[in-house]
Copies of this chain bind each other. A is one copy, B any other.
């Protein structure tokens, strides 16, 4: 019962006042819920990755590589920094990943002329050509998810808020 102050979290969401819930949260309910949540979040993320992996196999992309390609298909080219911010990944992960994407001929990397610290990642012709066949992928995933659009929207919303709060608290 050592929690009185923690409901003033950095990003208290608007909407329902949570005082009643937070009282209960002091009990064992919270422990169990948190435990179930880390199981389910972990498992769901990896299940999502699995289904993408099979769908992406023919394209020769891994799931994280696909996420990079999604951003490049949208923006054409992006500095590593931008990719990292949007994907919540650091250069320790992105550098070797981009190296592999470069090795398979999907992207090029070159130092920015304006700022020699920055590296600009651009699509190659082959990378651009992959966009069309890749359009079939999300359709396949949407079907496999088996949830109504409203639930998927709720999920996206809650996950986004959760990430923002956790990162704010961790920073």
Tell whether A141 is near chain B: CB-to-CB under 8 Å.
Answer: yes
Stretch at the interface among A43-51, A98-106, A113-121, A122-130: A43-51
Most chain B beta-carbon contacts within 10 A, residue among A51, A88, A153: A153
| A44 and B144 form a contact (CB under 8 A) | no
Tell whether A155 is near chain B: CB-to-CB under 8 Å.
Answer: yes
Given contacts A38-B67, A39-B67, A42-B67, whether A155 and B159 have CB atoms under 8 Å apart is yes
Q: How many A residues touch the partner, as a band?
A: 35 or more
Question: Digit string of A47-78 for contact with B (CB within 8 Å is 1, else 0)?
Answer: 11111101000000001000100100010000
Given contacts A43-B87, A159-B44, A170-B50, whether A165 and B152 have CB atoms under 8 Å apart is no
| A163 and B16 form a contact (CB under 8 A) | no
A96 to chain B, nearest CB (A): 17
The listed residue (B16, B43, B138, B163) touching A30 by CB distance below 8 A is B138
Copies of this chain: 2
Tell whether A167 is near chain B: CB-to-CB under 8 Å.
Answer: yes
Tell whether A110 is near chain B: CB-to-CB under 8 Å.
Answer: no
Q: How far is the CA of A63 from the CA of B39 in the complex (A)?
A: 11
Which residues of A line the B interface, CB within 8 A? 1-3, 6, 9-16, 18, 21-22, 24-25, 29-31, 33-52, 54, 63, 67, 70, 74, 86-88, 135, 138-139, 141-163, 165-170
Instruction: For the complex of A and B, list the 9 residue pairs with the smallest distance between their C-beta atoms, beginning with the closest.
Output: A45-B45, A146-B165, A144-B169, A18-B148, A9-B146, A21-B149, A34-B138, A6-B143, A40-B159
